Structure 1
């Protein structure tokens, strides 16, 4: 039996009412009113696509942190009720931990639903809706599906490839096979996607474009160490001349940076500019301090479960970083004292303070000494009447700075340049950070630049170090990392249900 659930949400700048089947993801999607689908309607086809973006917007609070926590840029906050999360950060894994199962189950449910919507779109084509439009919508779904599978495979390695709703022959594919499939999927999607920045789209503002697909193709080829493939894909983005770095690194991760020309993919949220009523938001509390004195009285703090590492902070201080460090890290007084215990950092720049540049005082609390600034929204940027930590802030997934640095890494590892020199790409990123230009650049220098620029973002640092076999970088502050620890164990709840995982 089909059940209609009325979901109201903001999607890519549009307020949409969507009827969708979410309990049984392989059932036909029902759209519009009256419980039936008009397959001759282009708007109905668009509604099917909207369902795919709705799932993207619905990524849970626990899912990204699990993907991201194991690098030497970030620590889990300690002293809490999520000890297995803290253990995961230290490469001690519990296959029975609910968070492992949540990521696997929810992301695969999303893959199933997006695949169902791709098949549903074929019915609109058969009923006479413009075939080119259906090709585009399916390409957008392909791109979102590839992104999910990219992340799942980076976390677990050998995973299930699901191209259709036929689940009778589930088969595990190696990580390399998954990445090759993703690259091929993006090749098929790119010709059918809009040739513009996501923020230039007027039909679905911020939606997937060919450059989003090129970015995902580059990421897959980076995992394969196919550096020419990386240079080709990122070079095409650079050569488009459509993307620029947002001038203010600090504001990029806040309200002014929403749908910036730098962003190739972001999860969008909104409170509609009102102090009450509908509010579509990520649960940012996971990242926030448990104790603070906000500039806006009454603004809520967070849970303190995501902490920039002391190693990262010292790395940034040693480089003379201000713009990126001030953006990426919020300090407590206890954290500042801890930094100063190192004789090399006994004297800190005057701007290092437990009060942010927007006037929020981060107080000492037991769970962590530092707070991720990239997941912070100044309380004075909250819509009046909204008090939840970070609410109304978007979640950036992929941005042009990462494209430039992937390109630079590929070229410094032997790829033929397709969009200028590696040093030119690196210097664009350094210029915004207020650092001097380099005259030449090595692969190691590019990795340092990626560490500085992309810290706390999507586990990029961890997966870079794993790809390069740099176990020493990940063995810090009492941790010991070996390559046997690169993947999480399959969730026990899934092993019990999916025979392929136990073979």
Structure 2
């Protein structure tokens, strides 16, 4: 008989196991929910439905997920100091209160998604039992896509909490009985899962898919594998995998860095993984949106009257802004940071920045003006959706905006870093890879790039994106970089503490 803690955990997960599908009349009749008992597995045309459900669950992220994933780097500060989200502020200061609701919510969100994806995979496997001809290969592709979605979720969780449970079946209790897996084991599992899946995935860019818009492909799986191998510090594997993506000649940097994060850049040739959202270009009716309000300004003067603001929970750091000004990195700074008057005043308190470049302005290139608020001094420009990009009649901050997850620029810079650690390349040199990224934003070329130079380039290029900076710094033990603006970082702060609610439910020891 299972112990009560495991039963409570199993119940928690299984409540979110009913996969959401919203694309057929039959499903709409069931409020978007479909159980295995409703399915006729001989109708292989329906095999895509559980996969669509898996995508829907992964895309339907809680707003707290990317916030908590990214907030601890020296590129980002938590906004809203002293308010209801003080636990987020404390996490940004490396003080981890495992009773703070967000820790448990993010843990539950990721594991809930993983179980939904695994459940979808097992449903597809049941369809495959009745498949014939080309439907067999299609089932294998769908299973492989589910593996990529699951692998990415495991990778993000292990980055946050280090040792976690690997969930491989909907029989969750069996995986829990196997105990925690170390971060190294999780990353190797993710890498192996990608190897298992790659032969069955489309050899194309996500934006070339016509069946599932923006769905994962072979190259998404390669990117996830490269990220896992980077965490393992297996730099030759990183170079090999990134080299395969580069040498495919399928991806290229979007020519306008600013527009990459706006409507024109959605589903560009740069994006290897991108959560899809839409308000269907309609002024009313259904929407499928991520809640971008936490990234937005509590006070602004939008170019389009009536456009809503946000909550101010995610603030680019002064350190990042000064770093970019010192480099003369105009395009990426204007793209990555939205300024308030209070933020400009704070910058100019430093004598070295008493006179700011004329491109630093409280008004964005799209005509939206960010006003003063006690919540933050700066907003993330990469999560900013111009009011002029809103569908007329849709006023919610970020309505219709996709969420970019993995970009070709990150692939180029992971490749360059691997070469600076002694790996052998296959085509581009480290200098060439870095300079491709720099040329896009009119930065002069470099020669003889070192690991530190690549880290600077990643800081400039990937700031505010998915905690990339933070995970780079802890991987390289650059604790001095994370000890900034009064913070003191040490090795025992690398990973979040397990949520207290999970300690009460699971065979875990508080970290």
Q: With structure 2 as the length reference, what TM-score do the two structures score?
A: 0.93
**Structure 1 or 2: larger helix share?**
2
- Secondary structure at the residue paired with 2:455? helix
Q: Does 1:132 align with 2:134?
A: no
Partners of 1:105 and 1:501 in 2: CA distance: 17
Aligned to 2:5: none
Partners of 1:20 and 1:226 in 2: CA distance: 47
Check conservation: 1:21, 1:29, Cα contact below 8 A.
Answer: no
Among residues 95, 106, 117, which one is paired with 2:109 in the alignment?
106
Aligned to 1:436: 444
Check conservation: 1:29, 1:48, Cα contact below 8 A.
Answer: no
Check conservation: 2:72, 2:467, Cα contact below 8 A.
Answer: yes
Aligned to 1:174: 182
Question: Kindly tell me: are residues 21 and 275 of structure 1, through their superposed partners in 2, closer, same or farther at Cα, counting changes over 3 Å?
Answer: closer
Among residues 135, 157, 160, which one is paired with 1:155 in the alignment?
160
Encode CA deviations 1:38-93: one digit per residue, 9 max, x unaligned. Answer: 21223211001111101111111011100110000000002421000100000001
Question: Kindly tell me: are residues 111 and 274 of structure 1, through their superposed partners in 2, closer, same or farther at Cα, counting changes over 3 Å?
Answer: same
Encode CA deviations 1:248-280: one digit per residue, 9 max, x unaligned. Answer: 111110111110000000111111111111111
Among residues 147, 165, 185, which one is paired with 2:193 in the alignment?
185
Partners of 1:277 and 1:29 in 2: CA distance: 23
Aligned to 1:220: 228
Question: Kindly tell me: are residues 252 and 186 of structure 1, through their superposed partners in 2, closer, same or farther at Cα, counting changes over 3 Å?
Answer: same
Number of residues paired by the alignment?
A: 491
Check conservation: 1:4, 1:30, Cα contact below 8 A.
Answer: no
Structure 1 residues 136-145 or 107-116, which shifts more?
Answer: 107-116
Aligned to 1:57: 59
- Ranges in structure 2 where 5+ consecutive residues have no aligned partner: 1-13
- Secondary structure at the residue paired with 1:481? coil
Check conservation: 1:21, 1:30, Cα contact below 8 A.
Answer: no
Aligned to 1:252: 260
Check conservation: 1:234, 1:404, Cα contact below 8 A.
Answer: yes
What is the CA-CA distance between 1:109 and the residue it aligns to?
Answer: 1.2
Partners of 1:88 and 1:136 in 2: CA distance: 39
Among residues 207, 212, 228, which one is paired with 2:215 in the alignment?
207
Aligned to 1:95: 98
Check conservation: 2:70, 2:468, Cα contact below 8 A.
Answer: yes
Partners of 2:372 and 2:226 in 1: CA distance: 41
Structure 1 residues 446-455 or 115-124, which shifts more?
Answer: 115-124
Partners of 1:74 and 1:48 in 2: CA distance: 37
Aligned to 1:270: 278
Partners of 1:56 and 1:284 in 2: CA distance: 16
Question: Kindly tell me: are residues 451 and 301 of structure 1, through their superposed partners in 2, closer, same or farther at Cα, counting changes over 3 Å?
Answer: same
Aligned to 2:318: 310
- Secondary structure at the residue paired with 2:505? coil
Q: Does 1:145 align with 2:153?
A: no
Check conservation: 2:20, 2:57, Cα contact below 8 A.
Answer: no
Question: Kindly tell me: are residues 4 and 475 of structure 1, through their superposed partners in 2, closer, same or farther at Cα, counting changes over 3 Å?
Answer: closer
Q: Does 1:70 align with 2:72?
A: yes
Structure 1 residues 338-347 or 328-337, which shifts more?
Answer: 338-347
- Ranges in structure 1 where 5+ consecutive residues have no aligned partner: 10-14
Check conservation: 2:19, 2:50, Cα contact below 8 A.
Answer: no
Partners of 1:393 and 1:444 in 2: CA distance: 33
Aligned to 2:6: none
- Secondary structure at the residue paired with 2:379? strand
Partners of 1:121 and 1:20 in 2: CA distance: 20
Partners of 2:415 and 2:127 in 1: CA distance: 39
Q: Does 1:427 align with 2:427?
A: no
